[in-house]
């Protein structure tokens, strides 16, 4: 029987792991520890490692490869946390997960509406029984031009949902899709910056998308533009965003992701300061809605993420081609 070690297992995932391990006949070791050079022993006898967003470095892959690991499966869509080049050199397959794009797309549309209707302020004031109207007048989506950067699975679904609101939708992607052309007009990136009242980002973290939102591109945007990042923190230059928010250049932002979030998100900091200055500044702004990388987090997606890893493990055992392979 093929063996997999699943790292960083959360309590809410365990039931799915147990069910799918039985269904797919996989010997499973579960640990809440993230992978590290200190816990390589957890992979003893295993052919597959299952991870989430914690880094899988070249050094770790070297060690795992010596132990017989042939597959690293990440229970996430993004896979930039894995040194895929080194994995390929070591003959280790890297696979990711897929789940319905509605998970993130619905969350994106929720945060778009919350941002333009100043919901953070309304909710905070309500807790203090302040029901005044000053400063909480919002805008209607119908009258806005919305830019969708990245029209892959999630971006296209966002555009489809948004089309029901009657707003003008413009899009940018390195690959254009006919299905998106039915509801949006593709534009050059500079045009997107220039035209849009609100821009939502759905591209992967790559060298090309690194700090796509920066001092220079922010200067090209409309005054008061609303920015939505449900994709990856590295796409925004955070100090440049903070500066633009402080100047009112950016009117509001919704961020499910932020640069260097790895040591913060999914942990509880109730009893101590959060060691991330930029997050503290952004989090204190009434017009910035921050969520802790939870756009993916639904019953359906968690089940799918675990099942994807199990299926990849099974394909490794049978020698079948894996459509989820990314290296
Ligand atoms: P996808 O691969 O279907 O779509 C990505 C799109 O980006 C593709 O159409 C691709 O052509 C385009 N693209 C790539 N490089 C580009 C560039 N330089 N400029 C313009 N377009 C470019 O992926 P997806 O499933 O739609 O997911 C998109 C991203 O959302 C993921 O990469 C991941 O980082 C993020 N994500 C976040 C969460 C969350 O919980 N917040 C969950 C899932 C995914």
Q: Which of 110, 97, 121, 126 is nearest to 294 (CA)?
A: 110
Sign of CA dihedral 155, 158, 164, 167: negative
Which is the closest atom of ligand 1 to the Cα of 177?
9
Residue 191 pLDDT exceeds 90: yes
Confidence at residue 53, expressed as pLDDT on a 0 to 100 scale: 86
**Tell me, what DSSP letter sits at residue 233?**
G
Band (pLDDT 50/70/90 cuts) for residue 263 is: confident
Please, what is the Cα angle at 170 between 169 and 175, to 5 degrees?
A: 125
Identify which of 231, 254, 265, 300 to mutate to test ligand 1's pocket (most ligand atoms within 8 A of the CB): 231
Q: Concatenate the DSSP letters of all residues of 268-315 into one string.
A: --TTS--S-HHHHHHHH-TTEEE--S-TT-SHHHHHHHHHHHHHHHHH
Residue nearest to atom 1 of ligand 1 (CA): 152
Say which of 70, 202, 232, 276 is annotated catalytic: 232
Continuous segment of H or E residues that includes residue 186: strand 185-186
User: In whole angstroms, what is the distance from residue 142 CA to residue 51 CA?
Assistant: 41
* Averaged pLDDT, 265-278: 94
Per cent of the chain over pLDDT 70 is 100
The answer to whether the beta carbons of residues 117 and 142 sit under 8 Å apart is: no
* The pairing of beta strand 145-149 with beta strand 93-95: unpaired
The pTM score is: 0.91
Q: At what angle do helices 153-163 and 102-116 cross, to 10 degrees?
A: 50
Atom of ligand 1 nearest to the CA of 101: 25
Closest ligand 1 atom to residue 257 Cα is 41
**Distance from Cα 158 to the centre of ligand 1, integer Å:** 12
> Is 90 exceeded by the pLDDT of residue 262?
no
The pLDDT value given to residue 317: 95
Query: For 92-112, what is each residue's pLDDT tens digit?
Result: 999 999 999 999 999 999 999
Averaged over 160-180, what is the pLDDT?
98
Nearest CA to ligand 1 atom 27: 154
Q: Give the residue whose CA is nearest to atom 31 of ligand 1.
A: 204
CB atoms within 10 A of CB 240: 19
In this predicted structure, what is the pLDDT of residue 67?
96
- pLDDT tens, position by position, 46-58: 999 999 988 999 9
Residues with CB under 6 A from ligand 1: 77-78, 101, 104, 150-155, 172-175, 202-206, 208-209, 230-232, 256-257, 293, 295-296
Q: Residue 151 CA: which ligand 1 atom is closest?
A: 9
**Alpha-carbon span 261 to 265, nearest angstrom:** 6
DSSP string of 133-162, one letter each residue: -TT-----GGG-EEEEE--SHHHHHHHHHH
Q: How high is the pLDDT of residue 54?
A: 87
Quote the pLDDT of residue 165: 98
* Section 73-87 average pLDDT: 95
With vertex at residue 280, the alpha carbon angle to CA 279 and CA 285, rounded to the nearest 5 degrees, is: 95
Note the pLDDT tens digit of each residue in 203-226: 999 999 999 999 999 999 999 999
> What are the residues whose beta carbons fall under 8 Å from the beta carbon of 93, sequence distance 6 or more?
70, 71, 72, 87, 312, 316, 322, 325, 327
Predicted confidence band at 293 (pLDDT cuts at 50, 70, 90)? very high
User: Residue 172: in which H helix or E strand, if any?
Assistant: strand 168-172
| Mean confidence (pLDDT) of the chain | 97
Residues 6+ away with beta carbon under 8 Å from 211: 234, 235, 236, 237, 240
Give the mean model confidence (pLDDT) for residues 81-88.
96
Report, as an integer, the average pLDDT of 189-198.
98
Can you say how many angstroms the Cα of residue 322 is from the centroid of all Cα atoms in its chain?
23
Q: Whose CA is nearest to atom 2 of ligand 1?
A: 152
Can you tell me the distance from the alpha carbon of 75 to that of 77, in angstroms, rounded to the nearest whole number?
7
Number of residues in the chain: 327
pLDDT of amino acid 141: 98
Instruction: Find out whether 197 and 144 touch, Cβ atoms under 8 Å.
Output: yes
293 included as an active-site residue: yes
């Amino acid at each position: 029987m093929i063996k997999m070690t699943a790292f960083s297992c959360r309590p809410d995932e365990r039931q799915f792991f147990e069910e799918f391990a039985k269904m797919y006949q996989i010997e499973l070791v579960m640990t809440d520890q993230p992978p590290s050079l200190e816990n390589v022993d957890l992979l003893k006898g295993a052919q597959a490692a299952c991870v989430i967003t914690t880094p899988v470095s070249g050094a770790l892959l070297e060690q795992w490869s010596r132990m017989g690991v042939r597959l690293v499966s990440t229970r996430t869509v993004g896979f930039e946390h894995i040194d895929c080049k080194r994995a390929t050199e070591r003959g280790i397959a890297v696979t990711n997960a897929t789940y319905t794009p509605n998970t993130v797309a619905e969350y994106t549309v929720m945060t778009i509406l919350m941002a333009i209707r100043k919901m953070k302020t309304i909710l905070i004031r309500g807790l203090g029984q302040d029901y005044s109207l000053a400063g909480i007048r919002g805008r209607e989506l119908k009258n806005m031009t919305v830019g969708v950067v990245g029209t892959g699975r999630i971006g296209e679904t966002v555009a489809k949902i948004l089309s029901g609101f009657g707003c003008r939708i413009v899009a940018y992607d390195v690959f254009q899709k006919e299905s998106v052309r039915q509801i949006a007009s593709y534009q050059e990136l500079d045009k997107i910056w220039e035209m849009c009242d609100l821009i939502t980002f759905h591209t992967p973290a790559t060298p090309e998308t690194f700090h796509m939102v920066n001092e220079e591109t922010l200067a090209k945007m409309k005054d008061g533009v609303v920015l939505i990042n449900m994709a990856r923190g590295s796409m925004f230059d955070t100090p440049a965003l903070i500066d633009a928010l402080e100047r009112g250049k950016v009117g509001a932002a919704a961020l499910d992701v932020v640069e260097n979030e790895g040591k913060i998100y999914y942990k509880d900091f109730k009893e101590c300061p959060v060691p991330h200055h930029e997050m503290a500044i952004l989090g204190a702004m009434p017009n910035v809605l921050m969520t802790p990388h939870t756009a993916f987090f639904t019953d359906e997606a968690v089940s799918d993420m675990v099942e994807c890893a199990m299926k990849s493990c099974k394909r490794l055992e049978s020698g079948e081609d894996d459509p989820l392979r990314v290296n």
